[in-house]
Chain A
Amino acid sequence: MAKLSKADVEHVAGLAKLDLTETEINKFLPQLSQILEHVGELGKVDTTDLAPTSQTTGLTNVFREDEVKPSSIDLDGALSGTDNTFNGYFKVEAILTERTDK
């Protein structure tokens, strides 16, 4: 497994919207590399005869009827985790960049 570079750490931090200091980057670089190496151990398992799966339950087709049911959360409940609200909305700092998705 290829070693992580400083740029990789910065990239991952960027995706997580984290601003890291130089010291933090230097601290996390070996830690992240270690994690990757550890997970990389899985690559040693012989999977030639195994079908790929995306889940472990073995379930398929778990569906819900198309019915509206009362929510366990009302407006006050929905907003209860923050003081930053306005007229029933969550209030956040002005979003200046448009999302790239959708």
Chain B
Amino acid sequence: MNTKLIPIIGMEIHIEPNTKSKMFCACPQDHFGKAPNTQVCPICLGLPGALPFANYEGIAKTVKLGLALGSKISEFSKFYRKNYFYPDLPKGFQTSQLDSPFCVGGSLNGFAINHIHLEEDAGKLVHETIDGKKCSLVDFNRSGCALIELVTEPVFHDIPSVISFVKELQLVARYIDISGADMEKGSMRLEANISLSEEEKVKSGELPNYKVELKNINSFKFLEKAVSAEIKRQTEAIERGEVLVQETRGYDEVKQSTFSQRSKADAHDYRYFPEADLPPIELTKSQIANIKSQIPELPESKRKRFEEEYKLSKDFADILVSEKARSDYFEEAVKLGQGSSPSAKTVADLMINKKLDEQFPEPAGLVKKIVELTKVEYASTEEVENAVKSVLIENEKAVADYKGGNGNVIGFLIGMTQKKLQGKGSSQIVREKLLEGIQK
């Protein structure tokens, strides 16, 4: 085959928002490491007659993410029941959204987002062998937790773009304080939809008639390995002349290959219908404006500003901005240091290369340290006196001009002295010594 195959990748990214309570009941949202089935109630256990009650914060955080990514916010939204059976889904349906998600469109790193919707999480399954018998254990602490799902368009054609997109999304979620987006704790989870197509078809916007869904990706490293293993598998299959089918696959880290998880009975037939227990949502312009006003400067514009305002290199700006607290620390230190010696570049350099921000929890401590460090480097009084002496001898004319009333000459003489001191003279002492020398 001569035509070049290009990967077409779309991402589905789940983020658990950091609300206090679950999406439709008053149980705690934070379930990490809690004893099983201790954060449950009739609503999230799906007991008969329980009535769900929407948590406005969950909606606000979803809308906040949409606003940060330039999505259009739906003025009218509703929840749906997505029906399927699985032991971690006690009601037999998941409350989700369908035709009126809270956020439509938007983009990040130049990659188009299809929509962002809000749904509830399912419980957790643990697979165990008890008394020699294989069984599955169910914990419903996570059942009913608020869960934001962002779905991109199939716009990625290489793995690095996917990874930088997901990393940037993680950073944005942290900046706007909607989630810790911690992959290890499961508050951010990834799925990749992958297919391959010929270059010409991709250019004309034609999508292949299949896609393979890669599930349960729980780290950036895993994402890279799993996606590249799947691209390899599909490339080889197409080269062998096989026809690829729509399916769900997992990644086996040991074998470094993906395996099919599809079973015949898993046909997608969710029989969505509107959730009548949850009245529709009409967000007002003022509610949306209020949410928007809580969005701080986003990483992308902060990086640009750091490069322009503080003349930092792209690398330095990237590193500082990759942690909101660190970028705040940096700006605070620069502000405190204003007027005294440390330049923004020095502050950034000492933070990044010497990790001094770890030693000084408060920016003021760092600034004090920098002033101390730079003082040590100042030339001694004796060195200044020697430099002044030779400058005065070498620049007789300037000295005469000064004595003749041209006060501006002093700037030139300071400059000459600093040149001899390689810039290490304290400008105050240099001036003092020069004036002293001239008077003699």
Residues on A facing B (Cβ under 8 Å): 11, 14-17, 54-57, 59-69, 71-75, 78-79, 86-95, 97-102
Contact = CB atoms under 8 A, between A and B. Distances in A.
A93 B134 CA distance: 7
Given A68-B21, A98-B261, A91 B135 contact: yes
Contacts of A100: 84, 248, 261-262, 266, 268
Contacts of A61: 279, 281-282
Nearest to A84: B135
B94 A101 contact: yes
B230 interface: no
Contact of B20 (A11, A68, A75): A68
B360 interface: no
Contact of A66 (B57, B276, B278): B57
Contacts of A65: 56
Nearest to B138: A90
Given A55-B276, A95-B125, A100-B268, A72 B41 contact: yes
A44 B35 CA distance: 54
B21 A67 contact: yes
B380 interface: no
B210 interface: no
Contacts of B21: 64, 66-69
Contacts of B248: 98, 100
A86 to B, nearest CB: 6
A16 to B, nearest CB: 8
B387 to A, nearest CB: 66
Contacts of B415: none
Interface of B: 14, 19-21, 26-28, 35-42, 45, 53-59, 78, 82-88, 94, 122, 125-128, 130, 134-140, 215, 248, 250, 261-263, 265-266, 268-271, 274-276, 278-282
A17 B86 CA distance: 10
Contact of B274 (A55, A62, A90, A101): A55
Contact of B55 (A15, A54, A64, A89): A64
Contacts of B41: 71-73
Given A78-B140, A100-B248, A89 B36 contact: yes
B245 to A, nearest CB: 14
Contacts of B140: 78, 90
A55 B280 CA distance: 8
A55 B276 CA distance: 5
A97 B266 contact: yes
A40 B56 CA distance: 38
Contacts of B281: 60-61
Contact of A78 (B37, B127, B266): B37
Contact of A73 (B14, B45, B55): B45
A95 B136 contact: yes
10 contacts: A63-B54, A64-B21, A66-B21, A67-B21, A74-B38, A75-B35, A86-B135, A90-B139, A91-B136, A99-B84
Contact of B37 (A55, A90, A95): A90
Contacts of B39: 71
A63 B37 contact: no
A81 B304 CA distance: 58
Contacts of B45: 73, 78
Given A73-B45, A101-B84, A62 B53 contact: yes
Closest 8 A/B residue pairs (Cβ) = A54-B274, A89-B137, A66-B57, A69-B26, A63-B56, A59-B279, A71-B41, A94-B134
Given A71-B40, A92-B136, A97-B263, 6 more contacts: A60-B281, A86-B128, A91-B136, A91-B137, A98-B250, A101-B86
B30 to A, nearest CB: 9
Given A54-B274, A90-B138, A92-B135, A62 B279 contact: yes
B261 to A, nearest CB: 4
A14 B265 contact: yes
A15 to B, nearest CB: 6
Given A78-B40, A98-B261, A55 B279 contact: yes
A32 to B, nearest CB: 15
A68 B125 CA distance: 24
